[in-house]
Amino acid sequence: MGGVSKGTFWRAAALQALAVALLSILLAVLLSHHFFESWGWLAGPAAWLACAALTARILRLPLAPALLGAALAGIPSALAVVLGVHWLGAALAVLLFAAWCARLPGQPAAG
């Protein structure tokens, strides 16, 4: 892994937060509350990983390491959900994921 990139940190944080927010709104409009009560344990992590894959793609980061970072960042988030502070877990996960991404080697832009 390379050095820490502050630019990548902030871009990853912004992209992940935006992707998660937009996907959350879309799913809330399309699916019933009952769906999330029954399947939120699966839909939440799947949506998180999908957003992380999008973030990695946009930032030209290696996909597998980025998804590993997203999974690891999701662990404290899951604990926050159990404790009833889902919003705090999501914010913490975004920051942890961004910190992970800031240490990943980026690929040069296609030219």
The number of CA neighbours under 13 Å toward the Cβ of 51 is 29
Q: Which pLDDT tens digit goes with each residue over 9-62?
A: 999 999 999 999 999 999 999 999 899 889 988 999 999 999 999 999 999 999
- Taking alpha carbons only, the member of 58, 56, 74 closest to residue 66 is 56
pTM: 0.87
Q: Tell me the one-letter amino acid at 12.
A: A
For residue range 61-107, list pLDDT tens digits in order.
999 999 999 999 999 999 998 999 989 999 999 999 999 999 998 76
Enter the DSSP assignment of 2.
Answer: -
